[in-house]
Structure 1
Amino acid sequence: MKRASYLQCAPKLMQHLFTQEQLLNEEVTLTLDTKLWELVKLRASQLNQCGYCIIMHSRQAMEQGESAQRIIALNAWRDMTGFTAKERLALTLCEQLTNAQPIDDTLYCALSEEFSDDALVTLTVAINAINAWNRVVKMFKPEPDE
C-alpha cells in the first residue's frame, strides 16, 4: 500500500522540520560534536525501530568518521567499552527522553558536569527532533529515494 507523501501533503510543516535540522546543525557545530549527534540520532532511531532512519544515520555517522564497529555496538553500548563518559551520558539522556522517562537530579547533575547549559539544550532539542522524524517516517514509510 502506498502511503501519503508527507513532503507533498504538508510542505510548510515539513519545512519546519528541515529548518530545525539546519539550525541544529549550526548549534551542534558550536556546542556539541557531529559524531555524537549522529550517535544520538542513530540510537533514538534504534529505540523507535525506524529502519529508514537507522540506515540513513548509520551512513551519516560513517561519513562523520564513526567506525562500523561502534555503529554495530551502539545497540548494546552499555556493555561495550568503546564509548566515552560523555557519549554514555548523551546516550542515557537519549534513551530516557525517547522512552518518555523522567530526568532525575542525579542524571541532570552528571550531564551538567560534561555539557555546558547551551550544549544540554541543543542535545535535548536534537533528541526531540530525531524522535519527531522517526514518528513521521514510521507513519508514512517513504521510499528510500524520497
Structure 2
Amino acid sequence: MEIRLDYMKVRPESLQTLLKLEGYVQKSGLEHKLWELIKIRASQINGCAFCIDMHTKDAVAAGETEQRLYLLNAWREAPFYTESERAALALTEAVTRISDAGVPKELYEQVRKHFDEKQFVDLIMAINGINCWNRMAISTGMIPGEYQPAAKK
C-alpha cells in the first residue's frame, strides 16, 4: 500500500484548519476517554483504518480498557458503557450517518439528559471533527500502522 498524496505537505493550511478544530474540542472540557470513543466509533462507521489505528492506541494510552475497545462496535449490547457514553455514541452514529435520519428529537432529548447545551455543541464539534479527519485520511490513502501515541494522557 502507498499513500496517494500527503495532503499535509501539499496544503499545510488544511492540516492547520483541522488542528484548530481539534484544539477547540480539546479545550472544551469533553472527557478525553469519551472523545476517543467518539473518534473510534465514527472511524469504524466510516471505515477509516488509519484513524481506528491511531485512536485505539490513543485510547489505550489514556487508560481505556481493551474490552471496551473490542466491543465498541456493539456498544448497545455490551454492559461496559455508561448512560452518558451511550448517549454520546448514539449521537456519534446519528451525526456520522446524518443523511439516514438526521438527529431525531428522542435522541436529542436523550443526549441532553447527560449533556448541557454547551456540551451538546462540543459533542457535535468532536463528531464533525473526526468525520472530517476520516474523509481526509480515506481520500488521500493514509496507511495505518505507523502511528505511536506521544505520551500517556
Tell me, yes or no, whether TM beats 0.5.
Answer: yes
Could you tell me which residue of structure 2 aligns to residue 16 of structure 1? 17
- Report SS of the residue matched to 2:80: coil
Deviation, structure 1 residue 41 = 0.3
Could you tell me which residue of structure 1 aligns to residue 140 of structure 2? 140
The correspondence of residues 59-98 of structure 1 with structure 2, limited to 5 A, is: 59-98=57-96
Could you tell me which residue of structure 1 aligns to residue 106 of structure 2? 106
Deviation, structure 1 residue 18 = 1.1
- Read off the aligned partner of 1:140 and give its amino acid letter: T
Ranges in structure 2 where 5+ consecutive residues have no aligned partner = 148-153
**Alignment coverage as a number of residue pairs:** 143
Aligned alpha-carbon RMSD (Å): 1.4
Q: Deviations over 1:52-106 (max 9, x none)?
A: 1001000111111110010000011111011111010000000001011311211
**If each structure's helix is expressed as a fraction of its own residues, which one has the higher value?**
1
User: Scaled by the length of structure 1, what TM-score is found?
Assistant: 0.92
Runs of 4 or more consecutive aligned structure 1 residues displaced over 3 Å after TM superposition: 143-146
Identify the range of structure 1 (67-76 vs 15-24) with the bigger mean alpha-carbon deviation: 15-24
Ranges in structure 1 where 5+ consecutive residues have no aligned partner = none
The correspondence of residues 28-67 of structure 1 with structure 2, limited to 5 A, is: 30=29, 32-67=30-65
2: CA distance between counterparts of 1:33 and 1:20?
A: 16
1: CA distance between counterparts of 2:10 and 2:124?
A: 28
Could you tell me which residue of structure 1 aligns to residue 8 of structure 2? 7
2: CA distance between counterparts of 1:13 and 1:96?
A: 26
- Report SS of the residue matched to 1:83: coil
2: CA distance between counterparts of 1:68 and 1:62?
A: 7
Deviation, structure 1 residue 3 = 1.2
Deviation, structure 1 residue 142 = 2.3
Could you tell me which residue of structure 2 aligns to residue 129 of structure 1? 129
Deviation, structure 1 residue 143 = 4.1
2: CA distance between counterparts of 1:10 and 1:58?
A: 27
Could you tell me which residue of structure 1 aligns to residue 150 of structure 2? none
Deviation, structure 1 residue 137 = 0.3
Q: Kindly, what percent of the aligned residue pairs are identical?
A: 38
